[in-house]
Amino acid sequence: MSALRVAMIGHGFMGAAHSVGWRQAPAVFSLPRDVEMAVLVGRNAEKTAAAAAQWGWAESATDWREVIARDDIDIVDIVTPGDSHAEIAIAALRAGKHVLCEKPLANSQAEAEAMADAAAAAAADGVHAMVGFTYRRVPAVTLMRDLIAQGLIGPVRQVRAAYRQDWLVDPQAPLVWRLQKEHAGSGALGDIGAHIVDMTQFVTGQTVTAVSGMLETIVKERPLLAEASGLTGTAGDGMGEVTVDDLAVFTGRLSDGAIATFEATRFATGRKNALTLEVSGEDGALVFDLEDLNVLEHYDRTAPAERQGFTRILVTEDVHPYVSAWWPAGHMLGYEHGFTHQVVDLVQAIDSGVPAHGTFAEGLSVQRVLEAVGASAANGSTWASVPGND
């Protein structure tokens, strides 16, 4: 069969990460279809061309609409800021292109609903749409999901999820697009909170049905950036308002009755990219820590008292999810491998016709939670239901 030709819209940090995935997947895994990195699209022709040359894209362009209309493009990968996700994804799906879209799916629930509707309509014609929740595809996280589904820890009673960073602790850090509601939709809540909501739902098989939350913008003004960088303001223009949250803390109730606590912050001094997920069940517990991402910890409450304690599972055996294509046991994987596994799952889905997990419907489920947290915070942290997740 012909190769799947990919166009990626946007670049920057996520563009680099996704490019690694597109390069590595066909080199390491025995994919059912060849993949070609056809076009990289960006607003600035010179910068986009340089990124394309560095990352291995065959050509570059500046008009995403023209690229989506091309007959030789099969997959559209969206790594732009959230304010353009809906427009690009819906146009691509209507053009019959498979879509991979970075998280959060959109900047609002209404946009996410429109995207999910477009994906459902396109699915009737065999078109696939997937959200880039890459932490699902860390082998230890997928293993956590599998073990919970097998009943290893019994009924889930409590989940503790946290994603902590510190890149905004300095009040002189500039006003980048992630700090502007019109571009990002929300701050820590959507950017990193989306990950822990999705991971919680993914590993437990449950949905968040109600939330009580608090949002805080700690530094309310920051230095503006130059317009040349594609961001708000010009050099020397002074300060601009931060219009999103720096910190989100919320509690959720899951569909089977368990309670979950969530923390998403960019003000955890000393924490660079600290993501932890702990699931406690009636018969035991499982713990994942991104800073030790090849490990899953398991506590067996049913073991004799003299043998109880957390056991460290090294998730590098070829029987573990995704691992058999990589290195011998004990040879570690890293952050970038989740992006490779994302490509593998999407290509296999396109070939088999069976949708890969991380669908737009699942992205919409996460968006509903984010919107409910915002509503709760705006109403004094009162409990807010998550319609559609029950």
% of the chain exceeding 90 in pLDDT = 96
Range of the domain at 57: 4-134
Domain count, the chain: 2
Is 184 inside a domain boundary? yes
State the pLDDT at residue 289: 98
* Residue 90 to residue 99: CA distance in whole angstroms: 9
Residue 234 predicted with pLDDT over 90: no
- The tens digit of pLDDT for each residue in 71-81 reads 999 999 999 99
Grade residue 236 by pLDDT with cuts at 50, 70 and 90. low
Residue 230 predicted with pLDDT over 80: no
Q: What's the CATH code of the domain at 261?
A: 3.30.360.10
* Residue 91 to residue 293: CA distance in whole angstroms: 36
Q: How far is CA 41 from the centre of its chain?
A: 21
| 274-281 and 156-164 beta bridge pairing | antiparallel
Looking at the structure, tell me whether residues 97 and 181 fall in a common domain. Answer: no
Looking at the structure, tell me whether residues 130 and 159 fall in a common domain. Answer: no
The arithmetic mean of pLDDT across residues 206-225, rounded, is: 96
Looking at the structure, tell me whether residues 226 and 242 fall in a common domain. Answer: yes
% of the chain exceeding 70 in pLDDT = 97
Is 214 inside a domain boundary? yes
Grade residue 1 by pLDDT with cuts at 50, 70 and 90. confident
pTM of the model: 0.96
State the pLDDT at residue 225: 81
Looking at the structure, tell me whether residues 46 and 193 fall in a common domain. Answer: no
Looking at the structure, tell me whether residues 16 and 113 fall in a common domain. Answer: yes
If 0-12 CB within 10 Å is exposed, 13-18 middle and 19+ buried, where does residue 243 land?
middle
Walk across the sheet containing 274-281 and list its strands.
310-314, 295-300, 284-289, 274-281, 156-164, 259-265, 247-254, 208-216, 384-385
- The tens digit of pLDDT for each residue in 23-58 reads 999 999 999 999 999 999 999 999 999 999 999 999
**Within 13 Å and on the Cβ side, how many CA atoms surround 371?**
20
Is 390 inside a domain boundary? no
Looking at the structure, tell me whether residues 125 and 8 fall in a common domain. Answer: yes
Looking at the structure, tell me whether residues 263 and 220 fall in a common domain. Answer: yes
Q: Tokens representing 51?
A: 């990124």
If 0-12 CB within 10 Å is exposed, 13-18 middle and 19+ buried, where does residue 171 land?
exposed
The arithmetic mean of pLDDT across residues 115-140, rounded, is: 98
- The tens digit of pLDDT for each residue in 105-126 reads 999 999 999 999 999 999 999 9
Is 389 inside a domain boundary? no
State the pLDDT at residue 228: 37
Q: What counts of helices (H) and strands (E) characterise the chain?
A: 11, 17
